[in-house]
Amino acid sequence: MTDTPMKGRIALVTGASRGLGYSIALKLAEAGAHVIATARTQAGLEELDDAISKAGGSCTLVPLDVQAPDGIEKLAEAVQQRWSKLDAMVVNAGVLGELMPAAQLTSKVWNEVLAVNLIAPARFIRAFEPLLKQSDAGRAVFTTSGVGSRRAKAYWSAYASSKAGQDILVQSWAREIDGGTLKANLVNPGTVRTRMRAKAAPGEDPMSLPHPDEIAPVFVSLCSPEETRNGEILDAQG
């Protein structure tokens, strides 16, 4: 594989304004991709744009709330009009919700967590599958978690349920596209130095955790046209 395995390719990254999404977007740009970076936070996207420009890469910034009724679908239309295809899609945007007993979770928390962590990925699949199939080697990568269906934890029911649902969604889709040029996989990044992790474990020393830059190359590798795996859940830290 060359130093720029994504040269000339178009890659979409959600939740790109900070943390893991920021690092994935930057690493994809460094690998040669033109990055379509989406997030709710405009300032964070502008910082990413500056970092990508300094690295000699290019990107398109798209402020986007994945809960907006037709935001994802309009983005797909814009990508279709400008590029007519999408080579890689990293669905990384997510919310933690609240860590509390399941019996105390409100409908508001459930609605947000499921909308962002499960319904939005389903909408991205529906909106972008045709564009990914227009690529010679479309790749879709989704951020999951070790607290999903494989390892349930007390007080994590909303977040864990949404991620478990996403796992089944993506693996089911992967079976449907098996045998074609499009591949879909999931990555469990493990404990990483992010704002979400700090909210989940406020007493933890963040410097004891790997930086998102250390995890991002796993996502970049799965976006490569040389990647052949499909329907797998990979642990970024072993």
Q: b/e per residue, 105-120, with b = 16+ CB within 10 A? A: beeebbebbbbbbbbb
Q: Is 155 a catalytic residue?
A: no
Q: Where are the alpha helices (DSSP H) in the chain?
A: 19-30, 42-54, 71-82, 107-114, 120-133, 157-177, 195-200, 212-223
- How many whole angstroms from its chain centre is CA 140? 9
Q: Return phi, psi of residue 138, to 5°.
A: -65, 140
- How many whole angstroms from its chain centre is CA 230? 16
Sign of CA dihedral 91, 92, 97, 103: positive
Q: Check 159, 162, 188, 219 and give the catalytic one.
A: 159
Contact (CB, 8 A) for 10 and 86: yes
- Catalytic site positions: 159
